[in-house]
Amino acid sequence: MKRMVVGVVVIVIALGATIAAVAGQTQTPTVTMQQSWTAWFIGSATGNPLHIPEDSCGELVDGLFLLAPGVTGPTVERTCHIPSGVQLVISNVGGFSNTPTDGNKDTKLFSAALGYFQGVVPKSVKGFVDGALVPKGPSTCIDPFQMTAERGSFLAEIDKQVAPNDSVRVAICGQFYVLEPLSAGQHTLSFEGKFKGGEKGVLTLNVTVP
């Protein structure tokens, strides 16, 4: 199903306040984090996971550093440099819905996104930081919100009912991890998950922090 996304998207958020840096510590992602991820991942041309080079981590957008997701194949490995002192918000499986394909009412959009996401195999969802298993992040859904599907975006390419630069409403449900800042040096982050009847997706990030 095209709206069942197996992969990992990482949003790195510059911290405006001091937070205890405990590798692997998890928090609940805010609605703003999830909306920012969604708009970049499926709505922007530069965030389109079908075209991001494998040696690219992503880009800085509105103060958020968005790392490329791993939906270009069952096994994806990226080598990344990220700034120090930042949180990492990671979604390794998710489902989204949008107008007009999944309906024009918010209730239908929410139900569709939740329905797609319910195809996830819970035991398959795992995250590791330097080989250590990270507590599973919470499953969350957010209410539909308005965004633009830019020309060249993931949504404009996979959904023929969405014209380039259309304004659409989108709902999303996903499995998230929120990690505290990593210490300086090299780290290996690995995240995986699968949908029922599908192949397991694995993303490995070789991260260097100055």
Residue range 8-58, pLDDT digits in tens: 444 444 433 222 233 445 567 788 888 888 898 899 998 888 887 777 767
Under the banding of pLDDT at 50, 70 and 90, the label for residue 97 is very high
Mean pLDDT of 120-149: 90
User: What is the span of the domain harbouring residue 167?
Assistant: 4-209
pLDDT in the model for residue 64 = 58
Does the pLDDT of residue 112 top 70, yes or no?
yes
**Separation between Cα atoms, residue 158 and residue 179, nearest integer Å:** 31
